[in-house]
Structure 1
Amino acid sequence: MQLPFIYPIKRLLPVLFAIAFATVLLLENLTPVTAQLSQSPAQEIRGVWLTNNDFDILRHRAKLQDAIEQLRRMNFNTIYPVVWNDGYTKYPSAVAQRMGIPFFFKGAEGQDVIADIIAQARRQGLLAIPWFEFGFMAPLTSELASEHPNWLTQKRDGTQTSISAAGEVAWLNPFHPEVQKFITDLVVEVVTKYNADGIQFDDHMSLPVDFGYDKYTIDLYTKETGNPPPPNPQAQAWMQWRADKITAFMIKLNQAVKARKPNAIFSVSPNYYDFAYKFQLQDWLNWVRLGIVDELVMQVYRDDLQTFNSKLTRPEIIETQQLIPTGIGIMSGLRNRPVSMQQIQSQVRAAQGRGLGVVFFYYESLWDYAPEPVGQRQNGFLALFPNQVLRDISQITTRKPSYNSLSLPLYTKGSVGQRTRGYFLEVAVAGGQPRRILMDTGSAGLRVPKEFLGNFPIRRTGKVVKEVLNDGTILQGELVYTNARIGPIPTEEPIPVQVVTSRQCIAQKPNCSAKSGTPFSGIIGVNYFEKSLPHNPLRKLPGNFSNGFIVTGNSNGGNSSLILGLTAENREGFKMTSLSKQPAISGIPGSRWDSRLNGVCITITGSSMNNTCNSKMLTDTGTNSGFTEIKSASLAGKLKPGKLRPENKVQVTIPGIFDYSVVPGNRDGFDLWNINVSPGAQHPVVVNSGIGFFDKYDVLFDPINGQQGFRDRN
């Protein structure tokens, strides 16, 4: 159906559009908590944006004092002064000065306008949350854009600008590390320089969907996916990749803000979700669910009350207001388009009836540019807010993600090295850049080279630990404790990490991976069969994320994923088998399980192993090739140690659970299978199915109940 709407107006002129929406974009593979949420947060938002249009008031101390005193008398409780607009800061910024950006916005008495606003708001009991209005948007003629042309992104046809309510603007590339650093430095400067109550980002902390075809982004996307960006800017995977990158930046920005001021309000004021995601790549509902947003104000600039009301009942607003203070952005008028008090009151009452707060765009239109007399107008607002409602930032605390389950992509190549086959998961260690680290279901513990570490605190133990990999590589390095982020989810507390400083081969396997000199890509071992520290880092994820996971493979060219958090829904279709419990180890949380499956039957054509059902088996993403370790040469029969040939078909089964077969070969690194004869083996026959097994089966790991599950993907 056709839904008329007014594009969010942050300048002087409204722009009218009409967009047809036939379907609703859904977040896939993400299960939010809804049934167990608390009631709507009690702190009602009553706010107003202080814009460039208000600058004549803001720059005069006396006028500003009168304005804030009047807002207090009208029982407002929050103001949002603009600090970043048109490519310029509204405060004296050392960060902007280093970039050659001039400063024009001193107060009439030479004062710092933002410092004055915050001080006066503090005296009147109002929250002051600086508003980072332009986000990644900047005029093409600004010093910022002209001095840093490589920071700009573009459309597929090479166009660098779009038409917005602010006129023709360019867009800083949100994926470029220098852009991210500049924006982060500005935000941290505001939070550090002023005694503000938080920081707010609006719909321009985003990227129009047509953009992202600059050389830097094309190269990055091609490197990470193996293909150039599709010509259709609304191709689903291309949209998701860009939206996820913006989300990852917002997570880091939130961490930077909270590191300086833990109870700062991290506020977002976007468009309604369908528009924000489809046209601006702004996945704000994901931000809310990930726990990085403390307050949300959704812009709903509509004249028609029915259309206005329809936005208040959207599922994402109902979900959000159960988690954090939530408000609606209401147009109170423009200089050339006043809005009646009757319309304002009807919209405010509709929002209040839904338990939602309100924020008005913008200050001078509250009563100075209005169709009614000032007194009548102010009495109208007092009727809407008859009682004082104070807000308290001391209640702002770190919020856990509200997801029960979250699907993370697994990549085919790591950040370093040229491993031909593997599942790699993005992990950031000690606040470092996210790195693609090999995910290994056959081992436990996070092991990374020291260059992967960021600048977050690290507790050293001085203890050197050693791990021997299946291919004979010995990893040695100090055990330390630090925080990590797995995808977008941070661990709840520091976890043990092996900082690998030495790699070598054992004598029995002199041709291990260490011999080649290939850089170490890191390993995140997610097995629960821990022998010692470090333990599986998934144990220290928050909430439901720590109760197990599912690995889905990439057969038939599909995408691989790691699903964190087991639910009744995502357990459906799995056939379960039990694991044996292992003794507890001090320092390792939770139960330990022997992850080698019992009662596995193996048949290898051309050998004496014909339905040998007393074997053990390990499902292992960390091993390229499947292999069978046999304690006695007599069991191997005519088979010699080494690679099996195609005539030696391998079949591995647990009756009623799975039936896996493979013809040994070399299909782009798939289907390799080895035989090892090891008299010192602990068990007569041990099978490691290798990563090829995950091409056919989804595998579930349940550390709570000590189970593994298998679901045939075909």
Structure 2
Amino acid sequence: MRPALRLGFGSLLSLLAWGPLPAGAGETAPPESATIALLPRPGNSGFANFIRVSVGGGAPGAVLLDTGSTGLRIRADAVGPDVQLTDIPLTYSYSSGNVLEGVLGYAVVSFPDSTPAVATPHRIAVQVVQKVTCKTDMPDCPGWKAPEMGVMGVAYNPVEVFNPLAQLGGTLANGFIVVADDFADPNLAPHLVIGLTPQNSTGFSTSPFAPADGAQPAGLKAWNTKSIPTCFTVDLGPPGCFATVFDTGAGSGSFETPDLDPNRLHTRIPAGHRITTSVAGAMSLTVESGRRPWINRYRYAPPHGGVKGFNSGGLVFRHYKVLFDAANGRIGFSPALGTPPNAPKTTAE
């Protein structure tokens, strides 16, 4: 889910990202790695891109795991009694049209479905969302439908260090792997691996992110997550190549090609075309286009967003395991290039 606009106190939040240490925290060394269950999103797509969190001792709530945005942003009625609220207002909006209004808060974030149990060792900055509205030019934005209680953006951003995964203890913060490739493995139990090790990082072809400008989170190699050169073709036509974000929060892939009629920009690609997404030396995926988000839907769109780029769409994650390496500033795909995903043909609908 690509963020379209950031308003608020980005530089201030960088300084305030670590809140006070709760009593008793930090006494036990964190594990080297852990797994967290991923849950199916609302609807009938079958894609697992939701994750349960507990914020400030609150009841566990399901939030969208979004590799295309930054920051845990959660409804005010989902946070617990141990959240430390401020009077600093925050507004954040997405390309979907959703606009989140609320305030900055500090809370420990834990993951009830993790094995072993993990939580941030400190209170971290979160957005406590008091109102969800729509952009004026997108009055039919999707909002947050039950059971969605928020969005957990996990892009590694050098200014707003809200990503809870980047603020876990020890090696847990060095990166993560999204394991949701149910089209390649129908028997898969979708999950998130946090904390990269030589063992769980084998079998990936990787591509580096471009370095981000400005200060970097301590111990992490920050990057511009919309920076991997990626090419898209339609029916083996001329490729459209641009920096691209690999985004679990986008229901459609979006790109343009050199031969595109300008009148077709911002329209859905009709069913029955062969769309190929490729990263040199790392991955190549061909899907037959259709109408179903998270499965086979693509749109023509120019490079867009605060940082210009294309969008892979979440459907890539249904064919590949995708690794985000924070320590080395790179992304990886498994199976490695040269070993095609064992995926069934996607029927156009």
TM-score range (shorter-chain normalised) is: 0.7 to 0.9
One-letter amino acid of the counterpart of residue 536, structure 1:
N
Equivalence for 2:229: 599
Q: 1:428 to 1:682 in 2, by over 3 A?
A: closer
1:574 counterpart = 2:204: yes
Equivalence for 2:142: 513
Q: 1:709 to 1:682 in 2, by over 3 A?
A: closer
Q: 1:636 to 1:492 in 2, by over 3 A?
A: farther
1:274-309 Cα distance to aligned partner (Å, 9 max, x none): xxxxxxxxxxxxxxxxx9xxxxxxxxxxxxxxxxxx
One-letter amino acid of the counterpart of residue 234, structure 2:
I
1:460 counterpart = 2:61: no
How many Å separate the matches in 2 of 1:517 and 1:590? 34
How many Å separate the matches in 1 of 2:304 and 2:220? 34
How many Å separate the matches in 2 of 1:587 and 1:618? 20
Equivalence for 2:156: 528
One-letter amino acid of the counterpart of residue 51, structure 2:
L
Equivalence for 1:427: 53
Equivalence for 1:610: 238
Equivalence for 1:619: 246
Quote how far apart the aligned CAs of 1:528 are: 0.7
Whether the 8 Å contact between 1:422 and 1:621 is mirrored in structure 2 is no
Whether the 8 Å contact between 1:576 and 1:709 is mirrored in structure 2 is yes
Secondary structure of the structure 2 residue equivalent to 1:468: strand
Equivalence for 1:693: 316
Equivalence for 2:75: 449
Structural mapping, 1:410-421, within 5 Å: 410-413=38-41, 421=47
Q: 1:567 to 1:552 in 2, by over 3 A?
A: same
1:245-270 Cα distance to aligned partner (Å, 9 max, x none): xxxxxxxxxxxxx97xx6xxxxxxxx
Equivalence for 2:274: 649
Whether the 8 Å contact between 1:473 and 1:506 is mirrored in structure 2 is yes
Aligned-residue sequence identity (percent) comes to: 28
One-letter amino acid of the counterpart of residue 611, structure 1:
P
Secondary structure of the structure 1 residue equivalent to 2:104: strand
- Equivalent of 1:710, from 319, 325, 333? 333
How many Å separate the matches in 2 of 1:428 and 1:580? 33
Structural mapping, 1:390-409, within 5 Å: 398-401=27-30, 403-409=31-37
- Equivalent of 2:178, from 548, 551, 554? 551
Quote how far apart the aligned CAs of 1:529 are: 3.1
How many Å separate the matches in 2 of 1:604 and 1:424? 30
| Richer in helix (by share) | 1
One-letter amino acid of the counterpart of residue 698, structure 1:
K
RMSD: 3.0
How many Å separate the matches in 1 of 2:88 and 2:243? 33
Whether the 8 Å contact between 2:161 and 2:217 is mirrored in structure 1 is no
Equivalence for 2:299: 674
- Equivalent of 2:214, from 563, 584, 602? 584
* Alignment gaps of 5+ in structure 2: 1-21, 336-340, 343-349
Quote how far apart the aligned CAs of 1:497 are: 0.6
One-letter amino acid of the counterpart of residue 577, structure 1:
S
One-letter amino acid of the counterpart of residue 297, structure 2:
L
Equivalence for 1:171: none
Count the aligned residue pairs: 308
Whether the 8 Å contact between 1:596 and 1:617 is mirrored in structure 2 is yes
Q: 1:629 to 1:499 in 2, by over 3 A?
A: farther
Quote how far apart the aligned CAs of 1:629 are: 6.0
Quote how far apart the aligned CAs of 1:491 are: 0.4
1:356-413 Cα distance to aligned partner (Å, 9 max, x none): xxxxxxxxxxxxxxxxxxxxxxxxxxxxxxxxxxxxxxxxx82123x32212110103
Equivalence for 1:499: 128
1:53-82 Cα distance to aligned partner (Å, 9 max, x none): xxxxxxxxxxxxxxxxxxxxxxxxxxxxxx
One-letter amino acid of the counterpart of residue 442, structure 1:
G
Secondary structure of the structure 1 residue equivalent to 2:128: strand
Q: 1:669 to 1:682 in 2, by over 3 A?
A: closer
Secondary structure of the structure 2 residue equivalent to 1:512: coil
One-letter amino acid of the counterpart of residue 176, structure 2:
F
Whether the 8 Å contact between 1:527 and 1:536 is mirrored in structure 2 is yes
**Higher RCO (Cα < 8 Å, 6 or more apart):** 2
Quote how far apart the aligned CAs of 1:453 are: 0.9
Structural mapping, 1:320-469, within 5 Å: 398-401=27-30, 403-413=31-41, 421-456=47-82, 458-469=83-94
Whether the 8 Å contact between 1:533 and 1:588 is mirrored in structure 2 is no
Quote how far apart the aligned CAs of 1:428 are: 0.7
Whichever of the two has the greater Rg, that structure is: 1
Scaled by the length of structure 1, the TM-score of the pair is 0.40
Secondary structure of the structure 1 residue equivalent to 2:271: coil
How many Å separate the matches in 2 of 1:680 and 1:667? 23
Whether the 8 Å contact between 1:460 and 1:479 is mirrored in structure 2 is yes
1:483 counterpart = 2:112: no
Whether the 8 Å contact between 2:231 and 2:239 is mirrored in structure 1 is yes
1:624-672 Cα distance to aligned partner (Å, 9 max, x none): 2222268x9x744563422111233211112221001221114585111
Quote how far apart the aligned CAs of 1:692 are: 0.7
How many Å separate the matches in 2 of 1:446 and 1:407? 19
Quote how far apart the aligned CAs of 1:678 are: 7.0
| Richer in strand (by share) | 2
One-letter amino acid of the counterpart of residue 425, structure 1:
I
